[in-house]
Amino acid sequence: MTPTIEQIAAQLQGYDPQSLRADTVLQFLDKLVQPVDEMEQVSVFDAFERVLAQDIVSPISVPPHDNSAMDGFAFDGGALQAGQRLSLKVVGTALAGEPWQGSVGPGQALKIMTGAVMPAGLDTVAPQELVQATADTVTIAAGVLARGDNRRKLGEDLMQGQPALRQGERLGPAALGLIASLGIAQVPVWRRPTVAFFSTGNEILSLGQAPRPGAVYDSNRYTVFGMLQRLGVQVIDMGVVPDEPAALEQAFLQAGARADAIITSGGVSVGEADYTKAMMRKLAGASGGVAFWRIAMRPGRPMAVGRINGAADGAGGRSAVLFGLPGNPVAVMVTFLAFVRPALLRMMGCKAAPAPLLRAHSLEPIRKKAGRTEYQRGIVSSAPDGSLRVCTTGNQGSGVLRSMVQANGLIVLGHDQGNVATGDEVDVMMFDGAL
């Protein structure tokens, strides 16, 4: 049975919804979010960025035969003698895809192209740029080769019957190539989770609406959309929902009936959440529930998380995981990267370890208050000695969206960390592949 919000909270040491550590949030979400369990068979092209639902066992060895790694001349490497050059008679040519049908005896060599099958008895290839060749003779200088050079062995990459890829792997370009190299046309993958998202607030303008005092154009839906697209889930854009109980309830009912997860922005800060809490609890159901958190982090302190049902009485029907994010544009992106993205990867069935934080030397002092995790927008570059260095983008206000465009990563300052001096090492989370 799926645990309730209260049961999950009871398992976490030091759980305090009014001052929640960032690492505790990740532990909570790891227990709350469950992987999808529906498998699909798709083509290799369609498997890109999908998560593998079963191990792929190699039906063949790769490569399927010993072959040449270079254009050159194949011969028996046992003929090589230390300090002596070697002259061999060329008896033919082996092309890729056209195995040599003749025989190669002692004192003989075979001109061979990259990828061509190595005939029996030949184990070494002399690259054509390292030899002197005439019409029917090739001479190899002393000391330029060792026996076995430039030969790829049968099964060197993968032996028949071995797992080529494991369940839970997210399939990138290299994985697609590996699958295709095995002659496999259909790939078992988990269904893509469906994520519904909308912005809330009476002050939010949709594109095309005329400006008005006190109102701002909706940017959060577009950043959330982009991050979800990068992740590879199915998305449902539900637009902007006003801060009205009836409108919010209808939006949550529709989203809960269609989606595996719901992402909202706005409406979770102190003073905004009272009726939202009541409405969400109404929709939670027996195994549901919604927790409103104050996370010890900057930016992105307020957040709601839980489960709601797509049924008006909160019972039965489909259950969706809710991520209620803050309204400030930068806070939305930071909380998504820190918490929502890892949770959705788990929902996708991905078992890969998260990308490690890198270490970089700070080019400036950074003020930091111990007792919260801070995510500052940074520009990471390489120093002349090859080490990494980082500087902030300047103004770290949670509404300065332009700074996220300028940045290529986040400077992650841990919960217990204090001020940073120029030259100190800090953790950085790179955006590559996520933003």
Q: What's the average model confidence in pLDDT over 391-395? A: 94
Q: What's the average model confidence in pLDDT over 97-110? A: 93
Domain with CATH 2.170.190.11 in the chain: 67-152
Of residues 221, 226, 233, 159, the one with CA closest to residue 191: 233
DSSP string for residues in 176-197: HHHHHHTT--EEEEEPPPEEEE
Output the pTM of the full model.
0.88
Residue 151 has pLDDT above 80, yes or no: yes
pLDDT at residue 276, as a whole number: 63
Give the architecture (CATH level 2) of 39-62+157-190.
Alpha-Beta Complex (3.90)
pLDDT tens sequence across 165-197: 999 999 999 999 999 999 999 999 999 999 999
Q: How confident is the model at residue 432 (pLDDT cuts 50, 70, 90)?
A: confident
pLDDT at residue 311, as a whole number: 60
Distance of CA 219 to the CA centre of its chain: 24
Beta strands (DSSP E) in 336-408 are 358-362, 373-382, 388-392
Counting Cα atoms < 13 Å in the Cβ hemisphere of 136 gives 2
Domain with CATH 3.40.980.10 in the chain: 5-38+191-347
Residue 96 has pLDDT above 60, yes or no: yes
Tokens standing for residue 310:
């797509």
Q: What's the average model confidence in pLDDT over 310-330? A: 77
Domain with CATH 2.40.340.10 in the chain: 358-430
Distance of CA 209 to the CA centre of its chain: 36
CATH of domain 67-152: 2.170.190.11
The CATH classification of domain 358-430, taken from the options 2.40.340.10, 3.10.20.30, 2.60.40.420, 1.20.140.10: 2.40.340.10
Q: How confident is the model at residue 268 (pLDDT cuts 50, 70, 90)?
A: confident
pLDDT at residue 318, as a whole number: 74
Dihedral over Cα of 283, 288, 293, 295: its sign: negative
Domain with CATH 3.90.105.10 in the chain: 39-62+157-190
Residue 134 has pLDDT above 70, yes or no: yes
Give dist(CA 381, CA 403) in Å, integer.
Answer: 16
Residue 316 has pLDDT above 90, yes or no: no
278 or 5, greater pLDDT: 5
Residue 199 has pLDDT above 70, yes or no: yes
Q: What's the average model confidence in pLDDT over 188-209? A: 93
For the chain, percent of residues with pLDDT exceeding 70? 95
CATH of domain 5-38+191-347: 3.40.980.10
Give dist(CA 401, CA 404) in Å, integer.
Answer: 5
pLDDT at residue 54, as a whole number: 98
